Amino acid sequence: MEAFRIQGGDRLKGTVSVPGAKNSVLKLMAAALLAEGTTVLRNVPEILDVRIMCELLRRLGCGIDYDPAAGRVAIDVPAEIGHRADYELVRAMRASICVLGPLTTRLGAAHVALPGGDAIGSRGLDMHQAGLEALGATVRLDHGYFIAEAPEGLRGTEVRLEFPSVGATENLLMAATLARGTTVIDNVAREPEIVDLCTMLARMGARIEGIGSSTLSVTGVERLSAVEHRVVGDRIVAGTWAFAAAVTGGDVTVEGVDPAIMTTVLEKLELAGCRISTGEGETFRVEGPERPHAIRVATLPYPGFPTDLQPFVVTLNAVSDGLGMLTENLFEARWRFVRELARLGAQVSIDGRHAVITGVGELSGAPVEASDIRAGAALVIAGIVASGITEVTGVDHIDRGYERFAERLRALGARIERVAYEQRSLEELADLADGGGREGTSS
């Protein structure tokens, strides 16, 4: 096991570059399945989830050429591909469910294991199921697998999502591209990553209207062609750096993301006392205050405040000069992280969907454990502002979504290293409890 060991007390200063978005690239890789030939993606982040997706596509029969250093992946999709995504991979990464739409529409069958994924709530698949059924597939659950079948192909229809689910929007959108006739999907998610997916699909030959709006109209085509595409910058990683500057009273310039897709986040940071400068193109600067003001945030689908940044809001409020509030409207179990933050001295009380956070003068370093990608990154940032040493275990969660996180933090002035972390066995703990060894010790 590994951990990040952080010596707290530094303000982050400098420039950091942000790669392509995890939550876009994984879906773009799945979209490659829709077309025979070689799809090339650029600005691909060097993260664990991309490797898992490469393996999933490889097992479906695709040839993969992934060059992490160049941020490039080439996916060679043959005429014949498999239709089964194994539990081993889907369990490791919930986003694997996004192959469901492409496989069902291209092959008329998909067997995808039900995901596990992050420990952030129940995250149902009912809208994925209802949407595919409306498109003419039969869907059933069999021995832990989600099985969708449409031997005659899918046909266009009207679907209204109960809630603008990111995953359901993506699966149904991709399924509709090769369906017969027109599919109108109402109340879709409008995240920039979905716009990115629509943009690539349109370049592949898909006929999509309403890109970026709440209603997508997709007219199915016979076939799509493989293209080259640059992945949109990761606004959640960019937001992580922005909050890191705010929490540590630092001064960070973020490159690689258009600040126009982060308006809600940057406005909240201004309320926290940050100075935000946006220039031309994909860059912005965040100058943090001596001590942030407490802020009130409610997470909502885009263009609302992203749920993926809520652990950073809690961290900022924890060191603020007042009483902050966070309402989590998307994932009911995203509070596990709060218990860990409390180990650093944060004062947070939870009532249902609401967290009330009382700012304290200082956090104090302690060992803590990451429960998901964002919680992990937020605990690291809390460690940078805490006094003394903080050790964050569960770094594999952080690796899933953050490219060379410790290296980038060091470049901004943080004292952080990746260390081996020994998990003691029960026998060793018993030994310790006995005073250092069971044999020959007396008290």
**Shortest Cβ 301–ligand EPU spacing (Å):** 7
Q: Where are the alpha helices (DSSP H) in 60-206?
A: 87-92, 100-107, 126-134, 166-177, 192-204
Start-to-end CA span in the chain (Å): 33
Q: Is 124 in the site for ligand EPU (CB under 6 A)?
A: yes
User: Between residues 14 and 124, which has the closer beta carbon with respect to ligand EPU?
Assistant: 124
Q: Is 187 in the site for ligand EPU (CB under 6 A)?
A: no
Q: Is 237 in the site for ligand EPU (CB under 6 A)?
A: no
**Shortest Cβ 265–ligand EPU spacing (Å):** 13
CA 270, 273, 278, 283 torsion: positive or negative?
A: negative
Cα–Cα dist 273/279, whole Å: 19
Binding mask 361-380 for ligand EPU (x = CB under 6 A): ------------xx------
Q: Is 121 in the site for ligand EPU (CB under 6 A)?
A: yes
Helix (H) or strand (E) run with residue 138 in it = strand 138-142
- Block residue for tokens 């995250």: 123
**Shortest Cβ 170–ligand EPU spacing (Å):** 7
Q: Is 330 in the site for ligand EPU (CB under 6 A)?
A: yes
Q: Give SS3 for 323.
A: strand
User: Between residues 16 and 197, which has the closer beta carbon with respect to ligand EPU?
Assistant: 197
Helix (H) or strand (E) run with residue 219 in it = strand 215-219
- Which residue of this chain has its Cβ atom nearest to ligand EPU in the complex? 167
Q: Considering only the stretches 162-170, 198-206, 286-294, 386-394, report the one whose residues sit in contact with ligand EPU under the rule CB under 6 A.
A: 162-170
User: Between residues 128 and 268, which has the closer beta carbon with respect to ligand EPU?
Assistant: 128
Residue 23 among known ligand-binding residues: yes
**Shortest Cβ 400–ligand EPU spacing (Å):** 8
Q: Give SS3 for 208.
A: strand
User: Between residues 22 and 106, which has the closer beta carbon with respect to ligand EPU?
Assistant: 22
Give me the catalytic one of 49, 65, 76, 118.
118
Identified binder of ligand EPU from the candidate list 67, 88, 126, 407, rule CB under 6 A: 126
Q: Is 23 in the site for ligand EPU (CB under 6 A)?
A: yes
Give one DSSP letter per residue of 245-313, joined into a string: HHHHT-EEEEESS-GGGGHHHHHHHHHTT-EEEE-SSSEEEEE--SSPPP-EEEB-STTSB-GGGHHHH
Sheet of 275-278, strands arranged across: 13-17, 251-255, 283-287, 275-278
Tell me what percent of the chain is helix, strand and coil, each rounded to the nearest 5: 35, 25, 35
Q: Is 127 in the site for ligand EPU (CB under 6 A)?
A: yes
Residue 94 among known ligand-binding residues: yes
For residue 319, count other CB atoms closer than 10 A to its CB: 25
For residue 364 the two structure tokens come to 């104090």
Q: Considering only the stretches 106-114, 140-148, 163-171, 345-353, report the one whose residues sit in contact with ligand EPU under the rule CB under 6 A.
A: 163-171
User: Between residues 154 and 194, which has the closer beta carbon with respect to ligand EPU?
Assistant: 194
Q: Is 303 in the site for ligand EPU (CB under 6 A)?
A: no
Give one DSSP letter per residue of 14-55, joined into a string: EEEE--B-HHHHHHHHHHGGGSSEEEEEES----HHHHHHHH
User: Between residues 32 and 274, which has the closer beta carbon with respect to ligand EPU?
Assistant: 32
Instruction: Confirm if 336 and 368 have CB atoms less than 8 A apart.
Output: no
For residue 347 the two structure tokens come to 């004062």
The site for ligand EPU, by CB under 6 A, has a size of 27
Q: Is 308 in the site for ligand EPU (CB under 6 A)?
A: yes
Cα–Cα dist 147/168, whole Å: 16
Q: Is 11 in the site for ligand EPU (CB under 6 A)?
A: no
126 an active-site residue?
no
Cα–Cα dist 123/125, whole Å: 7
Binding mask 83-102 for ligand EPU (x = CB under 6 A): ------------x-------
**Shortest Cβ 384–ligand EPU spacing (Å):** 20
Q: Considering only the stretches 18-26, 29-37, 249-257, 433-441, report the one whose residues sit in contact with ligand EPU under the rule CB under 6 A.
A: 18-26
- Binding site for phosphoenolpyruvate: which residues? 22-23
Would you name the residues annotated as active-site residues?
118
Give the binding site for ligand EPU (CB under 6 A): 22-23, 26, 95, 118, 121-128, 163, 165-168, 189, 306-308, 330-331, 373-374, 401
